[in-house]
Amino acid sequence: MRHNKSGDVFLIFDRLLKVISKSIIFEGKSNLRDASVAKTLITKHFKNNNLYEYIKAALVISEWKLNEDEAGKADLMLQEIRDYVRDNIDYDGYINEKSLFIKDVKKIFDLDMLLLERIGKYKTISSTHLFLEDCISSKSKKDVKDIENRIKIKSFLINEIIKSKEELVDRSEIREFLRSNDISSGVLKYTKNAFFDEIKDVNFEIQTLLEDYIYHTNTDIFIKSLRTKISEVCTDIKKELSKIEDDNQIRSILEVVHKLSDFEKNISYDNYVSVLHKICEAIELKNVMKED
Distance CA 47, CA 112 (A): 25
Distance CA 169, CA 70 (A): 10
Both 193 and 224 in one domain: the answer is no
Both 30 and 113 in one domain: the answer is yes
Q: Which residues span the domain enclosing 69?
A: 5-198
Radius of gyration over alpha carbons of the chain, in Å? 22
Distance CA 20, CA 178 (A): 24
pLDDT at residue 11, rounded to an integer: 94
pLDDT at residue 165, rounded to an integer: 42
N-terminal to C-terminal alpha carbon distance within the chain: 61
Both 224 and 187 in one domain: the answer is no
Does residue 99 sit within a domain?
Answer: yes
Instruction: Round the average pLDDT of the chain to a whole number and report it.
Output: 79
Both 113 and 256 in one domain: the answer is no
Does residue 62 sit within a domain?
Answer: yes
Both 193 and 230 in one domain: the answer is no
Return the DSSP state at 171: H
Both 164 and 259 in one domain: the answer is no
pLDDT at residue 129, rounded to an integer: 93
pLDDT at residue 167, rounded to an integer: 46
Does residue 176 sit within a domain?
Answer: yes
Both 109 and 179 in one domain: the answer is yes
What is the domain count for the chain? 2
For the chain, which residues score pLDDT lower than 50?
140, 142, 144, 165-167
